[in-house]
Chain A
Amino acid sequence: MSAVILAADSVNVAQNVAFGIIAAIMIFAALNVVTTKNVVHAALWLVVVLSGIAAQYILAAAEFVAISQVLVYIGAVMVLFLFGIMLTRAQIGKESDLNNKGWALGIPVGVVLFALLAWVILDAFGEDTLPDRGPAPTVALSDQFLSIYLVPFLAISFVLLAAAIGAIVLARKD
């Protein structure tokens, strides 16, 4: 009976199971990022979340974005974070004062925000199913970048250049 319903809804069971497992790992890791007492552990839990996002991109048929996520986030941004942690801290290990005095205020804010977002999402897209598309061709992506999104593409390269120079100027010792 349930198989009939699944077939009627054209729901891909393997995709759903993979999504559920990865999503559970990601939520657990994200909660650890914001609650752990150890800054280095927080950075390593963040690696788990970012890898999970890359896996979700592959499930969402966005290969190029997934590869960019791995290259940029896990390859570059995490190294920057680890450098930042190790250059700004004296000891590696537990710290007792990682949270603000009013940190408990964040719990109701986060819960209410999630409840509102979930309500709006379920109201708007409650029964929509995602169509079964093949992976998006990277050629189509590059066609977009080099035609209608060419000006933002050039602008973002200048943003990256400015950010790189600015970071060097800020962090340089005089």
Chain B
Amino acid sequence: MLAVNFLLLAAALFAIGVYGVIARRNAVMVLMSIELILNAVSLNLVAFSLMTGAIDGQVFALYVIAIAAAEVGVGLAMVLMIYRNRKTIALDELSEMKG
């Protein structure tokens, strides 16, 4: 099996995730796109682990999974708090900090 298969699939998922982060207005949808990006990266890590025979890539993939779980928990809690205070989670309406 060619090594580029996994890497190209991960690159495609990464690009789709970046498009989602740019295009989406709903904060929950942006978090989903970030999940796509993180998954693309851990697929890359596992593919490199298979390529070199070292198991460290899988260790890093597990770290990425753990960090992603923490990120989603905190991110959704923040989204819930914003929704409770503002009654909206549209990102372009949260512009108080803009100079």
Contact = CB atoms under 8 A, between A and B. Distances in A.
Interface of A: 11-12, 15-16, 19, 23, 26-27, 30-31, 33-34, 39, 42-43, 46, 49-50, 53, 56-57, 60-62, 64-65, 68-69, 72-73, 76-77, 80-81, 83-85, 87-88, 95, 97-101, 103-107, 109-111, 113-114, 117-118, 121-122, 125-131, 133, 136, 140-141, 144-145, 149, 152, 156, 159-160, 162-164, 166-168, 170-171, 173
B99 interface: no
Contacts of A53: 39, 42-43
B3 interface: yes
Contact of A77 (B26, B69, B81): B69
Given A113-B14, A121-B8, A141-B58, A163 B24 contact: no
Given A109-B18, A110-B16, A80 B39 contact: no
B12 interface: yes
Nearest to A69: B65
A95 B16 CA distance: 21
A141 B73 contact: no
Interface residues of B, number: 70
Contacts of B32: 33, 42-43, 46, 81
Interface string B1-33: 111111111011111111111111110110111
A130 B80 CA distance: 44
